[in-house]
Amino acid sequence: VQLQASGGGLVQSGGSLRLSCAASIRHFSSYAVGWFRQAPGKEREFVAVLNWRESQIRYSESVKGRFIISRDNPKNTVFLRMNGLKSEDAAVYYCAVGAWPLTTAISPRYWGEGTQVTVSS
């Protein structure tokens, strides 16, 4: 089982990034997929989740309206489009796979390696 996240980097405040997470998980399309993030000195927090058939979606209040989660089941990949990035969005972002609703850090069955997002002012 492997979840490989990519797409992080350095971006100016107000800019955009798209994170990707490629999964080698059996029955990937039957799981909910999500993103969490962890800033230095803080706990890992929920960012966004999408259920297996893309009929249910949730975002944290801090990213609602700016971030978009999506998935490509045939390619076993989940994405996070991040727009209007702010300094407080800077963190290591982790993709996660598990059962819905997947909104707490203890929920995921599988975790990906993190990808760093840095926002400069």
What's the pLDDT at 30? 95
What's the pLDDT at 68? 98
What's the pLDDT at 49? 98
What's the pLDDT at 1? 74
Sign, Cα dihedral of 42, 67, 70, 103: positive
Cβ-count burial of 55 within 10 angstroms (0-12 exposed, 13-18 middle, 19+ buried)?
A: exposed
What's the pLDDT at 29? 94
Q: Express each pLDDT in 34-84 by its tens digit.
A: 999 999 999 999 999 999 999 999 999 999 999 999 999 999 999 999 999
User: pLDDT at residue 7 above 90?
Assistant: yes
